[in-house]
Structure 1
Amino acid sequence: MSVVARVYGYPPDHNAGSEWMLHSMLRPLAERGHRVTVWLSHPGSIEKSYEIDGVRVVPYQEGTDFAADAQKADVLLSHFENVPLVSGLAAARRIPVVVICHDNFVTSFHDAAGADLVVYNSEWIRRDGEIFYARYPDEFLPRNTIVVRPPVIAEEYRTEPGDRVTLVNLNADKGGELFWQIAAWTPEWRFLGVRGAYGQQVMPPPRLPNCEVVDGVPGKEMRAHVYSRSRVMLMPSIYESWGRVAVEAFASGIPVIAHPTPGLVESLGEAGIFAYRDDLNAWIHSLASLRDPKNWARASRRAKVRSDELSAAPDLGIWCDAVESLHDPRRRKSFHPGGQRTYNASGVGAS
């Protein structure tokens, strides 16, 4: 079957968490033998078509034939700002459309209305989606919904932790300013700041000798260039619907200190160390605790256990089955018996 996606950017040129989540979901479809093509809607540094893990990517510079390709697709897919365009094409040609919701913004839920399949990236986003759609008539609702937590193949990220306190993406919303404040107050630690894929990056004051800033790297290089150098990961984000970087760090047993956004509370579970982003002392205290090798070892064990729990989840299998059911009417009937149905990450009907 032919799966065609239209999105803003894609790895390895664009390395935000949403794009790596999308690739982690398209990759197993390609492994099942489906033809998966991604068309980009924004210019990037790669100008020629390329393939990554069986997924064909067409850069914006070559993207003039997207509409023609979309009309021949068995399933169309999108997220963020491309959803209205893709949904319009799908409706005109009666092609099933899949929408991935990475956040609980009203625009995301509104644009996903009526989609054949809506994928939420966490249970709390699913709950907010159901609250949103409860106010509208049935014809406005997504026909099916599932939860797919951003898939992280742990063995692709697992390494021996290093000695740095790390923040990935130094923009203000991710906690760039707080990161450098923590560094200034804890000179006994060495800090690693990784430039992000988006947002104005907050650079460290020039008089912080314990700090290093490196350019962002593709997801496949995070193990070698980031996690192998990190002993603690910080995530003082003002908003995270899930927090993929934290889960990637957990694969190596790297403790994560995070601001308790609903997404990070769900993704990190009991393995997370939480501190409010406006409480500098809480972050300093948490880091001081992790200087003790015994405390760090306990936190590291909890991180590995949580990584194993998430790795064992059947989300990707449920996702692939759901997409395939859109193309095969017989499987479609068996996937959601009795009409509209919501499925959670375990595959059990939730509502």
Structure 2
Amino acid sequence: MSIVARVYGYPPAHNAGSEWMLHSMLRPLSARGHRVTVWLSHPGSMDKSYDIDGVRVVPYQQGADFASEAQKADVLLSHFENVPLVAGLARVRQIPTVVICHDNFATTFHNAAGADLVVYNSEWIRRDGEIYYARFPREFLPRRTIVIRPPVIADEYRTEPGDCATLVNLNPDKGGDIFWQIAAWTPEWQFLGVRGAYGQQIPPPTQLLNCEVVDGVAGDQMRTHVYARSRVILMPSIYESWGRVAVEAFASGIPVIAHPTPGLVESLGEAGIFAYRDDLNAWTHALRSLRDPKNWEKASRRAKARSDELSANRDLDVWCDAVESLRDAKRRTSFPADGVDGRPRDDGHVR
């Protein structure tokens, strides 16, 4: 099959969790012998086409032929802001479409309406999607939905933990400002802040001798440059639909302290150590508890067990089978439109 994706950015130049999730889903399709091509919709640092793990990536600078090449595809795939364009092209050419939903925003569900296959990245996103679609006629619904938790190949991240308490992405939504407060209150710990792929990065308000900040790290370098230096991962995120960094850290038995977003509660399971992001005492208490080697070992064993549990699932097989089942799928000839001009109607359901 020819599988063509249109997305904003892609590894190794773009390193957000959703892009690495997409890559970890496209790799096994390539391994099954399918031709997988990713076309980028935004200028980036890569100006020539390249291959990564069997996936061909065409940068924006060379992407003028996307529409003509996409017409030859057996399956079109997208996520985020590129979904409307890809869905429109697929509708005209009657090509099966796959949409990945990484969040529970109303716009995400609206854009995925009518797709042949919708992929939710967690059970809680699936539940919110079903609630959203329950308001609309049957023809508005995706033809099929599956849950594929962001795949993490544990062997690619497993290492010997280091000695730092680490936050990946220092923007406010990820807790960059909270991170520096925690560091100031627990001087007995060494802290590592990793600049993120997006969002304004919060610098330390004062010179903290127990803190180090490093530039962003590519996903395939996280084992060496982040997890090998980390003894604990901190995730005081205001929103996480899943929490890939936490699962990657679990592969090495690195405990994770997290704000209990629905996604982090689902992904971390019983291995998670949870503290509300506005309760600074809870964060410092958890860190001081993990200074005790016995407490850290117990938390580490739970982390490894959760990693093994997630690694044992068949999500990637389910995913590949679902895409291959679209080979002979027939496209519906029309998509419902909320407004006269096809744009979403403001009906008060935006979350």
Scaled by the length of structure 2, the TM-score of the pair is 0.93
- The gaps in structure 2 that reach 5 residues or longer are 331-351
Give the Cα–Cα distance (whole angstroms) in 2 for the partners of residues 116 and 23 of structure 1.
20
Give the Cα–Cα distance (whole angstroms) in 2 for the partners of residues 257 and 326 of structure 1.
40
Which moves more between the two structures, 104-113 or 200-209? Answer: 200-209
Is the aligned partner of 1:101 residue 2:107? Answer: no
Give the Cα–Cα distance (whole angstroms) in 2 for the partners of residues 276 and 206 of structure 1.
24
Give the Cα–Cα distance (whole angstroms) in 1 for the partners of residues 205 and 99 of structure 2.
42
Corresponding residue of 2:88: 88
Corresponding residue of 2:149: 149
Aligned residue for 2:90, secondary structure, equals: helix
Equivalenced residues, count: 331
Is the aligned partner of 1:215 residue 2:215? Answer: yes
Corresponding residue of 2:123: 123
Which moves more between the two structures, 181-190 or 197-206? Answer: 197-206
Give the Cα–Cα distance (whole angstroms) in 2 for the partners of residues 57 and 192 of structure 1.
32
Corresponding residue of 2:345: none
Aligned residue for 2:64, secondary structure, equals: helix
Q: Give, in angstroms, the shift of residue 206 of structure 1.
A: 3.4
Give the Cα–Cα distance (whole angstroms) in 2 for the partners of residues 131 and 261 of structure 1.
19
Map residues 182-261 of structure 1 onto 2, 5 A cutoff: 182-261=182-261
Matched AA of 1:149: R
Corresponding residue of 2:293: 293
Matched AA of 1:324: E
Superposition misfits of 4+ residues, deviation over 4 angstroms = none
**What's the RMSD between the two structures over aligned residues?**
1.1
Is the aligned partner of 1:37 residue 2:24? Answer: no
- 8 A contact 2:183–2:210 mirrored in 1: yes
Matched AA of 1:159: T
Give the Cα–Cα distance (whole angstroms) in 2 for the partners of residues 207 and 48 of structure 1.
41
User: CA offsets, 1:251-271, max 9 Å, x none?
Assistant: 000000000000000000000
Aligned residue for 1:99, secondary structure, equals: strand
Map residues 49-68 of structure 1 onto 2, 5 A cutoff: 49-68=49-68
Matched AA of 1:218: A
Aligned residue for 1:160, secondary structure, equals: coil
Aligned residue for 1:42, secondary structure, equals: coil
Matched AA of 1:77: L
- 8 A contact 2:96–2:329 mirrored in 1: no
User: CA offsets, 1:54-75, max 9 Å, x none?
Assistant: 0000000101000011000000
Q: Give, in angstroms, the shift of residue 328 of structure 1.
A: 3.7
User: CA offsets, 1:252-291, max 9 Å, x none?
Assistant: 0000000000000000000000000000000000001000
- 8 A contact 2:114–2:139 mirrored in 1: yes
Give the Cα–Cα distance (whole angstroms) in 2 for the partners of residues 328 and 29 of structure 1.
17
Q: Give, in angstroms, the shift of residue 207 of structure 1.
A: 2.0
Scaled by the length of structure 1, the TM-score of the pair is 0.93
Structure having the higher helix fraction is: 1
Corresponding residue of 1:264: 264
Is the aligned partner of 1:137 residue 2:137? Answer: yes
Q: Give, in angstroms, the shift of residue 217 of structure 1.
A: 1.1
Corresponding residue of 1:314: 314
Give the Cα–Cα distance (whole angstroms) in 1 for the partners of residues 188 and 164 of structure 2.
11
Q: Give, in angstroms, the shift of residue 329 of structure 1.
A: 5.4
Aligned residue for 1:181, secondary structure, equals: helix
Give the Cα–Cα distance (whole angstroms) in 2 for the partners of residues 67 and 214 of structure 1.
39
Give the Cα–Cα distance (whole angstroms) in 1 for the partners of residues 179 and 320 of structure 2.
39
Corresponding residue of 2:175: 175
Aligned residue for 1:234, secondary structure, equals: strand
Give the Cα–Cα distance (whole angstroms) in 1 for the partners of residues 233 and 305 of structure 2.
17
Corresponding residue of 2:324: 324
